[in-house]
Amino acid sequence: MLLLLNKSVPLRLLLSRRPLKPFFLPRPSRPRRLPLLPCAAMGSVAGDAARLAYPPARRDDSVVDDYHGVQVPDPYRCQVSLACGYALRRAGWRTRTRRRRKEFVAKQAELSETVLAGCPDRENLRREVTRLFDHPRYAAPFRRGNKYFHFHNSGLQAQSVLYMQDELDGKAEVLLDPNTLSKDGTVALSTYSISEDGNYIAYGLSESGSDWVSIHVMNVTNKQPMPDKLSWVKFSSISWTHDGKGFFYSRYPAPREGEELDAGTETNINPNHQIYYHVLGTNQSEDILCWKDPEHPKYSFGASITEDGKYIILTVYEGCDPVNKLYYCEISSLPQGIEGFRERQEMLPFVKLIDNFDAQYQVVANDGDEFTFLTNKSASRNKLVRLRDLRTGNLIHQLPLEIGSVSEISCRREDKEVFIGFTSFLSPGIIYRCNLAPAIPEMKMFREISVPGFDRTSFQVKQVFVPSKDGTKIPMFIMSKKDINLDGSHPTLLYGNGGFNISLTPSFSVGRLVLCKNMGFVVCVANIRGGGEYGEEWHKAGALAMKQNCFDDFAACAEFLISNGYTSSNRLCIEGRSNGGLLIAASINQVI
C-alpha cells in the first residue's frame, strides 16, 4: 500500500502486499485479535488505485527553469503559494492560488478519510494512544525574583500551563493557561520572558499556526493584563533589562496599506528585520528603534541581556547556516540610558565584535568584560562547555546520565543548584536536581514522568552503524520489544530527516510506543548526513551538491534492516517530517 500525503504534512511510504501483524488490546478474558489495516476492508492503494478517485493536481507544463543550460521542468509550481509582487496580489492572483491549494488539500484529506474509515481498529488505536498520552508532564523549574516557575501538563491538555510557587515544595498556582486563550484552540503560546524581579511576564501569542506573534504583558502579582500589545513580531525572543522598565524584541515594519496577511498559510519573505526596545506601559508607536540594516534586508536579528545585566548582545543571522555576527553594547555607556535614544533618533552604539559570517558564536557567560563562548570556529563539532571551570576549562565532574538527551538545563551563575531535564527512547522524562555547592555535585531525582501501562524493561534500544554507499558509517537507533526473532517478519518504521544541521537525538514518543507495544513494530531513527549529529562537516556532507548522500544513507539503513532480519521489503514503512518530506519523496522516486 502506498500512501502519499500532501507536502504540508509528513510524507509516508508504506509498502505492503499482505496484512501486517495483528493488532490487539488485552481484555480481562481471552484477548480478541483484530487484523491491522485489513486489505479487504481498506483496499490496497497499490493494487486498487484505479478505483480511488484521486484529486487531479493542477499542472502547468510551460514552467521550465534553466540551470546553467540544463532545462528543468517544474509543472507543479502552481500548487505552491509563492511570494509575489504587490501588483499581482492586488489583481487577486494570490487569493486564487490560495483558494485552489486549500481545495486540493481538502480533497486529499477527504480521500484519506474514506480509506481510513474502513479500518475497524481505528477507534481501538485512538483509545490506546489517548490512554498513553494521558499522563502528567513537567518542565524544569526556574527562579525569577523570589518565586519559582514551571510548566506542567496534566495529560491531555493541548498546551502546557505555566505555574508559579514561593518554594519548590510549596503550593503551585496557575499564572498563564494558554488553553483558555481561544475556544477553538488556535491561539498558542509561542514565547515568553519573566522580568528579573519576577513582577511581570511578557508573552507572545500565535494564531492559526502563523509565525506572526503578538506580544502581551501581565502583572505577575495580581495576574492582571497590562495594556501593552505589540504587533508585527516574527522570529523574536523577549529580553528584559534588569531594571524591569522594558524589554528588547524583534519585529518587521508594518505592511503597507492594501497588503494582506493569511495567518498560518502566508509564505511571503519579509525584509528588514529590526530590533526595538519597549518601555512598559507605553504604546508600541513609542518603542525605541535600536538596530536595523537596510543595506542587508534579508538579515535577521536577536537581542538579549547578559545575566549580569550589563551588556546587550546583538546576534545577526543571514540564513539557516550555523554562522552569525555578534555585536555588543554596554548599557552603562549610554549617558541617558536606552530611553535617551527615543529623542536622538539614532541606533544604539553597538561594538562590532565579530562582523563576518565565519562561524557561530553563542554567549555562555561573562565575568565583567571577559566572555565565554560556545563556537564552531575551527571546531566542526563545536567547542563545548560542560559544567567545567570557566577560568581553567578543566572538567569538574562527569554527571551519571545514561545514553539519551538532555532536554533542558535550568540555572543561572548565581544559583547553587541546577535542574537538568533528561529523556530517552525508553524514558518519558526525568528532572534531576543537582547541588553544585560540594566539590562533587550531588544529583538527585526531582521529578520523574510515568506513563501508565508502560514497562521499559519489556523493550530494548540498540545503536548500530550502517555502511552507506561510499562506506561512511551511518548511526541508527533501533527500538523494539526484547528478544525479537530476526526472521524478517516485523513491520518496521524507519524515520529520518537529514537537513538543516538538525540532530535526531533519543526522545520518548507515545506514537512509537504504540507501534512497538501493540503492533509488534520495530521503530528506527537514522542519523543520516545533512543533520548535525557529527557537526558541520556531517551537515555539509548531505547538503547542496552532496544531497544524494542523504538518500543513499537512508537506503543503506533500510537495506540493513532487511538483510539483518528485522523486516522485509513489503513490511517496511519510511517517514519524515519537514525536511524529511523531501527525503521520503526522493526515496520513493529513486526506488520506483
Q: Coil, strand, or helix at residue 367? A: strand
For the entire predicted model, the pTM comes to 0.79
| Cross-strand partners of 536 | none
- The three state secondary structure string of 310-321 is CEEEEEEECCCC
Please give the Cα distance from 156 to 154 (Å, whole number).
6
pLDDT digits (tens, 9 = 90+) for 100-132: 888 888 999 999 999 888 888 899 999 999 999
Which CA distances in Å does 200 have to 181, 189, 568? Answer: 19, 16, 57
User: What domains appear along the chain, each with residue ranges and CATH number?
Assistant: 181-255+269-384 (2.130.10.120), 456-590 (3.40.50.1820)
With beta carbons less than 8 A apart as the criterion, state whether 440 and 397 touch: yes
- Chain CA centroid to CA 154, Å: 22
The one-digit pLDDT tens for each residue of the chain (592 residues) are 222 222 333 333 333 323 333 333 333 333 322 223 333 333 344 444 447 888 988 889 999 999 999 999 999 887 764 433 333 343 455 667 778 888 888 999 999 999 888 888 899 999 999 999 999 999 999 999 999 999 999 999 999 999 999 999 999 999 999 999 999 989 999 999 999 999 999 999 999 889 999 999 999 999 999 999 999 999 999 999 999 999 999 999 988 776 665 555 555 678 999 999 999 999 999 999 999 999 999 999 999 999 999 999 999 999 888 899 999 999 999 989 999 998 888 999 999 999 999 999 999 888 888 888 888 888 887 874 337 566 676 777 777 888 899 999 999 988 889 999 999 999 999 999 999 888 888 999 999 999 988 999 999 999 999 999 999 999 999 999 999 999 999 999 999 999 999 999 999 999 999 999 999 999 999 999 999 999 989 999 999 999 999 999 999 999 999 999 999 999 999 999 999 999 999 999 997 6
Please give the Cα distance from 302 to 316 (Å, whole number).
7
Please give the Cα distance from 228 to 559 (Å, whole number).
57
Which CA distances in Å does 447 have to 11, 23, 37, 305, 493? Answer: 36, 33, 39, 30, 31
Q: Could you report how far apart the first and last alpha carbons of the chain are, in Å?
A: 14
With beta carbons less than 8 A apart as the criterion, state whether 354 and 337 touch: no
Sign of CA dihedral 314, 316, 322, 323: negative
Q: Residue 23 carries which DSSP code?
A: B
Residue with cell 523577549: 238
306: nearest Cα among 366, 361, 347: 366
With beta carbons less than 8 A apart as the criterion, state whether 508 and 425 touch: yes
Q: Residue 167 carries which DSSP code?
A: S
Q: Residue 269 carries which DSSP code?
A: P
Which CA distances in Å does 440 have to 382, 401, 413? Answer: 26, 15, 17
